[in-house]
Amino acid sequence: MSSLQQMLLTPEKASELIQSGVMLAVAADEDVLASLPCGNWVGGTIPYFMGKNGGVTTRGLVFVTPIPKYIELTPRITYYDTASLSQVCVEAPQNGFSLIILPAFSEVHLDYAHHAAMYDDMFMKPVVGWISGIHLDDMGKRSPKVRDGRNTKMLENAAVVIHVPLPDNISANVNIVNLFRPGTGDVLEFETSGFEVSQCLVNGKPTSLAQYLKSIGHDTRLPLVADYSGAFINVSLKAVDQAHDRVEFYGPVFQHVHYKLAGAFPGSYETAFMQEAAQLPGQANFSCNCILNYLYSELEGKRTGNVTGPMTFGEVAYVLLNQTMVHLTLETH
């Protein structure tokens, strides 16, 4: 098993690591990701990271997550389109985990968000990962992408995956930090699914969502939350456009699901997040955090305990999440 840990590197150092044969999951801004040599890796676009010295925004560095490899157990790289994505857990190892990266706002992102809970073998085998994104200054100019590092293609509508088998005496343990719970306010429903809406039903009454959020003075740092049989799934607000009467999300909303706006928590966003992060177990084999936690907790230059990783447009812990931190450790028993 590799003793390497998640870390930020220069492109030159990352290239050396790739050329040495180490299997990796990689995060970097698009130009750097496209420039890396071919090898045993998968990657996604993002320029926001939590390094060992704190949060950093950079177009010039590479965040690498080494993939553990055990004798006679070889991790397998593959990619999925919308036609094959439902097989991601079927093809996963019986004991191990799968690491998935999907490009934001793509058809595979939407499909995974909508259907992952119903994929065969989901929740039987650990799946973690993240949604690739772009620098927020590049909105409308570039699109999020992923790369199967075995070739040079940058993909806008496919998921890249590493299936990682583990010995029988080691198991993968997934932890999620989610600050949010449904508030006590109105019930919101949507008549169409997607990443952008104008109308919604507020307690059954057709209403402009943008105008509704304005009328109640909603803090847009607080997401919509749906209760799926006790599992709270956030949908984060990306933009509220009063002039064009539309609201954009980082993850899709779905028809006929009951949502509530998240309730506020005591104290500051930063304090609440740091308290939760401090309770996570030790060094992660994989972790990622939402770009919104990065922005709203003002994590530039600040550390989140021992947790490092890319700051993403969405997180995967089995299903698609928003505004969470996902943390995977390998435990010997």
Residues 57-105: tens digit of each pLDDT:
999 999 999 999 898 899 999 999 999 999 999 999 999 999 999 999 9
Quote the CA–CA distance of 99 and 130 in Å, as a whole number.
Answer: 8
Quote the CA–CA distance of 169 and 167 in Å, as a whole number.
Answer: 5
Phi-psi region of 36 (alpha: psi -120 to 50; beta: other; left: phi over 0): beta
The band of 274, judged by pLDDT with boundaries at 50, 70 and 90, is confident
Q: What is the DSSP letter of 223?
A: P
CA dihedral 6, 117, 134, 54 (to 10 degrees): -30
Q: What is the mean pLDDT of residues 238-251?
A: 94
pLDDT tens digits, one per residue of 149-169: 999 999 999 999 999 999 999
Mean pLDDT over the full length of the chain: 94
Whether pTM exceeds 0.85:
yes
The radius of gyration computed from the CA coordinates of the chain, to the nearest angstrom, equals 19
> Please, what is the Cα angle at 61 between 9 and 280, to 5 degrees?
65
